[in-house]
Amino acid sequence: MEETYWDLSPGEGEPVGAAEAVERTSALLAESVRIRLVSDVPLGAFLSGGLDSSSVVAFMRQATDGPIRTCSMAFAE
């Protein structure tokens, strides 16, 4: 049985070029991370070794002057 969870139909508006799409996506990700940095407890990030967690930490670094706490894990093979 297959279920559809997303309908990725084209959005409204004019198409944009690759450079503008990258710029818009970067701005949206930066803002998303920035608004989540508001906290009354210390924040950190788990580094999984992938591009996604590294990107989040890079955006965290751009949005704050303080140190970024990170952690990672290693498992025996």
* pLDDT of the chain, 77 residues: tens digit per residue: 889 888 878 778 888 999 999 999 999 999 999 999 999 998 999 999 889 999 999 999 999 988 899 999 988 98
pLDDT at 69: 94
Under 8 Å CB-to-CB from 41, ≥6 apart: which residues?
none
Q: Nearest to residue 32, comparing CAs of 56, 8, 58?
A: 56
Residue 39 in tokens: 């906290």
pTM, to two decimals: 0.74
Count CA atoms closer than 13 A to 75's CA, side-chain side. Answer: 3
